[in-house]
Homo-oligomer: A and B are copies of this chain.
Amino acid sequence: MAKQRTRLIPTGLFDLASPIRIPGLGRKWRLGGPPGIETAEEVATPPEEGRVRIRCLDYGPERVAEREVEDLGAFLTEPRPEWAAVRWVNMDGLHPFVINSLREAYPFHTLAAEDVLHVPQRSKLEAYDDHLFVVAHMMSTGDGTLTDEQVSLVHRPDVLLTFQERPGDVWDPVRARIQKDSSRLRRSGSDYLLYALLDALVDNIFPILEAYGDRLEAIENRIVENATPRELQQLYAAKRELVSLRRVLWPLRQVADDAQRAEYGGFQEETAPFFRDVYDHTLQVLDIVETYREMASGLTDLYMSSISNKMNEVMKVLTIMASLFIPVTFVAGVYGMNFQFIPELSFRYSYPLFWGVCISITVGLLIYFRRRGWIGG
């Protein structure tokens, strides 16, 4: 039953095995190696067919053309059509050979190339003299799975390169907008395209956060009703996942703030308010994550208190049961003694009297317990 529910919502919501990767962990290390892309050998070897998929989208105010790049060498040497004010080259799958080829046509810093390849990196924005390098995280859900993928973007005045780990992204609506003749995207430069892509990345986080909120609320309801160890483990997993999420999303704020203020010639002034808007959305994202973290903390307290309350209940039952019967059992034991001289034994009304005493003790104790609020009320 629990499993079925898991399928309906993204995995990674309060599983111990969360798909959210802490940047810097799980990379393969070439300790002490030079910065930049991989060994000469790796750089010289083209990828097997199908491992990397490159799509090029050229557009200007009047025309737009999208195509799959089959022969990278030919593509990079042929001239760009004159009407194409902006070129967006997107790569699905990371490979040193392809990155290096692109770097030769559209130069970017060797450290940026390293960060493209060595995923996952912390989100960041780095402005160089003639280009801008952005690392961001694309969180998306498809068929009930939450995926967290690093996206690297290299911005040059008339070109935008985007590198994804896997095929499939959240940018199809942006592509649709480019196809539309009258859209602002078509009329604007590559900086506006960069904004549109970052905006799509950030906006996609909101529905994921709502799924988190729904889960937390479900846990809350179950704790209020009946707290079991299952809720506890889910709470712990929730906290852990929110901690990871915060680590991944926190640097986004810096990226959006840097984009807004970047002293970089490639941005037009009128694009600044749009980056400010992205910044504003990252603030909302972080606010929500913080709120959930605080809620998860509050829920842990609630859980602990309700465990204590339950133990109190159990103890009260035990105490009441024991207190009611222990004294009367003693009395019964007294008259079970085999002493030869126990005068009560031969009295006529001893037995009813015995019951009278037992009932008095019991009623007295019940009244006492009621006064202390242990029964009823």
Query: Residues on A close to B: CB < 8 A?
Result: 16, 22-27, 29-35, 109, 111, 114, 121-122, 124, 126, 128, 170-174, 177, 183-185, 196, 199-200, 203-204, 206-207, 209-210, 213, 220, 224, 226, 229, 232-233, 236, 239-240, 243-244, 247, 251, 273-274, 276-277, 280-281, 283-285, 287-288, 290-291, 294-295, 298-319, 321-323, 325-330, 332-351, 354, 372-374
Number of copies of chain A assembled together:
5
Contact of A173 among B32, B294, B342, B343 (CB under 8 A): B32
Residues of B within 8 A of A295 (CB): 240, 243
Contact A345 B338 (CB under 8 A): yes
Q: How far is the CA of A229 from the CA of B223 in the complex (A)?
A: 12
Contact A339 B345 (CB under 8 A): yes
Query: What 6 A-B pairs have minimum CB-CB distances, sorted nearest first?
Result: A32-B173, A24-B284, A332-B333, A335-B337, A318-B319, A32-B200
Residues of B within 8 A of A372 (CB): 313
* Given A295-B243, A306-B229, residue A25 in contact with residue B209 (CB < 8 A): yes
Contact of A318 among B247, B285, B323, B354 (CB under 8 A): B323
Residue pairs across A and B with Cβ atoms less than 8 A apart, 24 shown, are A24-B281, A25-B210, A32-B172, A34-B184, A111-B273, A111-B274, A111-B276, A114-B277, A126-B273, A229-B306, A229-B309, A236-B298, A251-B283, A304-B304, A307-B308, A310-B312, A315-B319, A322-B322, A325-B327, A332-B333, A335-B339, A337-B338, A341-B349, A343-B351
* Given A25-B288, A31-B204, residue A301 in contact with residue B236 (CB < 8 A): yes
Q: How far is the CA of A357 from the CA of B218 in the complex (A)?
A: 44
Contact of A33 among B173, B247, B322, B325 (CB under 8 A): B173
Contact A32 B170 (CB under 8 A): yes
Q: How far is the CA of A344 from the CA of B23 in the complex (A)?
A: 75
Contact B329 A333 (CB under 8 A): yes
* Nearest CB of chain B from residue A313's CB, rounded to whole Å: 8
Q: How far is the CA of A109 from the CA of B274 in the complex (A)?
A: 10
* Nearest CB of chain B from residue A56's CB, rounded to whole Å: 20
Contact of A329 among B299, B318, B330 (CB under 8 A): B330
Main secondary structure of the interface of A (DSSP, over half): helix
Minimum CB distance partner of A244 in chain B: B291
Contact of A307 among B30, B312, B327 (CB under 8 A): B312
* Nearest CB of chain B from residue A207's CB, rounded to whole Å: 6
* Nearest CB of chain B from residue A84's CB, rounded to whole Å: 21
Contact of A298 among B240, B291, B306 (CB under 8 A): B240
Residues of B within 8 A of A301 (CB): 236, 300
Contact A328 B330 (CB under 8 A): yes
Contact A302 B232 (CB under 8 A): yes
Contact A203 B287 (CB under 8 A): no
Q: How far is the CA of A229 from the CA of B281 in the complex (A)?
A: 39
Residues of B within 8 A of A207 (CB): 29, 31
Residues of B within 8 A of A171 (CB): 32
Q: How far is the CA of A303 from the CA of B298 in the complex (A)?
A: 14
Minimum CB distance partner of A203 in chain B: B31
Contact B122 A287 (CB under 8 A): yes
Residues of B within 8 A of A244 (CB): 291
Residues of B within 8 A of A247 (CB): 287, 290-291
Residues of B within 8 A of A319 (CB): 314-315, 317-318, 321
Q: How far is the CA of A240 from the CA of B299 in the complex (A)?
A: 9
Contact A323 B317 (CB under 8 A): yes
Q: How far is the CA of A302 from the CA of B16 in the complex (A)?
A: 13
Q: How far is the CA of A114 from the CA of B370 in the complex (A)?
A: 56
Contact of A333 among B298, B311, B336 (CB under 8 A): B336
